[in-house]
Amino acid sequence: MSNIIVIEDDTLLGNFLVSSLKNAGLDATLEVTGTEALTHIGLDNPDLILLDIMLPDISGFEILRRLKRSASTQNIPVIVVSNLGGREDIERALELGASHYFIKANVLPEDIIDKIKETLNSKTGE
């Protein structure tokens, strides 16, 4: 079972995403701050990360930068799910190493789950 960390400061949305992922047969946990998430990632080495950009302590861009610069985390796929929908924000996240970018207002949980499964399957070569 794949291990996914959801980094989302809106606990209602975060818990909804975790529940949706678990219903799809994926193991997921929620972190609401960037600091907690980085600690969890360092200890758990997840298979994939769902990342919000606007967090209360460290921006998602900074988390993404740190993950992709570290040899131990650089190969973990990161899918951004954010309210930021400007072209510059999307391009910045992709340039920093995000594998995909969803705008919260324009995406259904099923779309996120499909992209997660596609990403995990391509990661394992299935």
The CATH number given to whatever domain includes residue 20 is: 3.40.50.2300
* Within-domain flag for 86: yes
Domain extent for 28? 3-120
- How does pLDDT run across 61-102, given as a tens digit for each residue? 999 999 999 999 999 999 999 999 999 999 999 999 999 999
Chain mean pLDDT for the chain: 94
Following DSSP, what letter does each residue of 7-65 receive, concatenated? E-S-HHHHHHHHHHHHHTT-EEEEE-SHHHHHHHHHHH--SEEEE-S--SSS-HHHHHH
pLDDT for residue 2? 82
How many domains does one find in the chain?
A: 1
* Within-domain flag for 125: no
**What is the Cα Rg of the chain in Å?**
13
Cross-strand pairs, 46: none
* Within-domain flag for 46: yes
pLDDT band at 19 (very low <50, low <70, confident <90, very high): very high
For residues 47-52, give the mean pLDDT: 97
